[in-house]
Amino acid sequence: MKVTDVICHVLQSKVEQPFTSARGWLYTTRASCIVEITTDEGITGWGECYGPAVVNKAIIETQYRSRVIGRDPFDVEVVWEDLYNRIKDYGLTGMTIAALSGIDIALWDIIGRAVNKPIHKLIGGAHRTEITAYATGLYFIDMDRLVEEAVEEAQKYVAQGFTAIKMKIGLGDPRLDLKRVAAVREAIGPDVKLAVDANHCFTVPQAIRLGRAMEPLDLLWFEEPISPEDHDGYVEVTRALDMAVAGGENDFTRWGFRDVIARKAMDIVQPDVCAAGGISECRKIAAMASAHGVECVPHAWGSAIGLAATVQFLAALPDTPPAFRPMPPMLEFEQTPNPLRDHLAREPIVQTRGIVRVPDGPGLGIEVDRAVLAQYKVA
């Protein structure tokens, strides 16, 4: 089998109710670069790239496409190394790796379709057929009702059956952050897991001070408390707090995670399969984390394709730690409306009462609806 073409589709949808986080910008649209790889045997694979879609498209079309055409999809890691070495002089991290991730996922999808097996069967098998999803939400929408809207939204997720929620913090006033988190904890009770995500908006002293103030609230983890490149700072924050510290959605490849994991700068690493290097590279990151006693709970954001790739990867991750009552890794299930996730697949991956079934169809386990693809395609 040989690759005949690599096609990029830039999709975009409007966000009906704009929202923001500690990053400060207003989300008014969602966009994604979808990678379609065709073969001479009529098998097509799909992948997704994290980050600005038009940038990913440009990288793939100018740097990668010609080097993938004519290759055997089963040589997926050979292709990965070739592409990585192609851009090593100027693209060790960031968008070049996100673009590479989309190609890698599409090649794995082709392999699965060729042998009629889901990707999780190709990377070790399924440790679970169902995955617990946690609801990511509680962004900042109504600035006059920040506490009230967070409580109401969290209660809605509990009513839907979610047993874990992740909320945004980083309002510029740590006292307001603390008040908001405390109100949500009181509203959902002690049995629902609660994590917070600061989107790397604090300094080390600020993160430690707020983290200590939140410790009595029994939080699942404190995500991205400080800037992602400050690994020394992460060590300080992680050592200072009596709660798990998470991060890594803005790190790339095994080399980007190597020192973070070896130094245990975080308790939980969160590689994104659409950003960190695809399924091939995230397997290596997860194995490295396991060897150092660090949990791996992938970040997820994007369309139905990125969600499917994350679910396949999660299914093959072992429990950490293995025990009589293990703690399986959870799936991030974003709660802001997302038609690229909810409609792009003919049979989309959905959560029911906070549980997601692992697809057992070939490859990613989903089929792309080309009518929906055309509806949202802008480039």
In one letter, which amino acid is 67? R
| Block residue for tokens 């290759």 | 71
End-to-end CA distance of the chain: 28
Would you state the pLDDT for residue 68?
98
Is the backbone of residue 293 left (phi > 0), alpha (psi -120 to 50) or beta? Answer: left
Take residue 240 and report the two structure tokens written for it: 């200072």
* Contact status, residue 48 vs residue 305, Cβ threshold 8 Å: yes
Burial of 361: CB neighbours in 10 Å, binned 0-12, 13-18, 19+: middle
* Contact status, residue 32 vs residue 306, Cβ threshold 8 Å: yes
* Contact status, residue 165 vs residue 195, Cβ threshold 8 Å: yes
- 20 phi and psi, to 5 degrees? -145, 170
Would you state the pLDDT for residue 227?
97
Take residue 29 and report the two structure tokens written for it: 């649209």
Would you state the pLDDT for residue 87?
96
Would you state the pLDDT for residue 324?
61
Say whether domain 3-116+369-376 belongs to CATH 3.30.390.10. yes
Task: Name the fold adopted by 121-357.
Answer: TIM Barrel (3.20.20)
Catalytically active residues are 299
Would you state the pLDDT for residue 321?
73
Looking at the chain, which residues constitute the CATH 3.30.390.10 domain(s)?
A: 3-116+369-376
The secondary structure element, H or E, covering residue 119 is helix 119-122
Instruction: List the chain pLDDT tens, one digit each, 379 residues.
Output: 999 999 999 999 999 888 999 888 788 999 999 999 999 999 999 999 999 999 999 999 999 999 999 999 999 999 999 999 999 999 999 999 999 999 999 999 999 999 999 999 999 999 999 999 999 999 999 999 999 999 999 999 999 999 999 999 999 999 999 999 999 999 999 999 999 999 999 999 999 999 999 999 999 999 999 999 999 999 999 999 999 999 999 999 999 999 999 999 999 999 999 999 999 999 999 999 999 999 999 999 999 999 999 999 999 999 887 666 677 899 999 999 999 999 999 999 999 999 999 999 999 999 999 999 999 999 9
* Longest alpha-carbon distance in the chain: 60
Chain-centroid distance of CA 247 in Å reads 11
Would you state the pLDDT for residue 17?
87
* Contact status, residue 124 vs residue 183, Cβ threshold 8 Å: no
Residues 6+ apart with CB under 8 A from 89: none
Would you state the pLDDT for residue 325?
65
Take residue 171 and report the two structure tokens written for it: 């309002």
Would you state the pLDDT for residue 377?
98
Other beta carbons less than 10 A from residue 4's beta carbon: 14
Looking at the chain, which residues constitute the CATH 3.20.20.120 domain(s)?
A: 121-357
Would you state the pLDDT for residue 209?
98
Total-model pTM: 0.97
Would you state the pLDDT for residue 323?
61
Would you state the pLDDT for residue 322?
65
**CA–CA separation, 172 vs 303, rounded Å?**
30
pLDDT in tens, 281-300: 999 999 999 999 999 999 99
Would you state the pLDDT for residue 328?
87
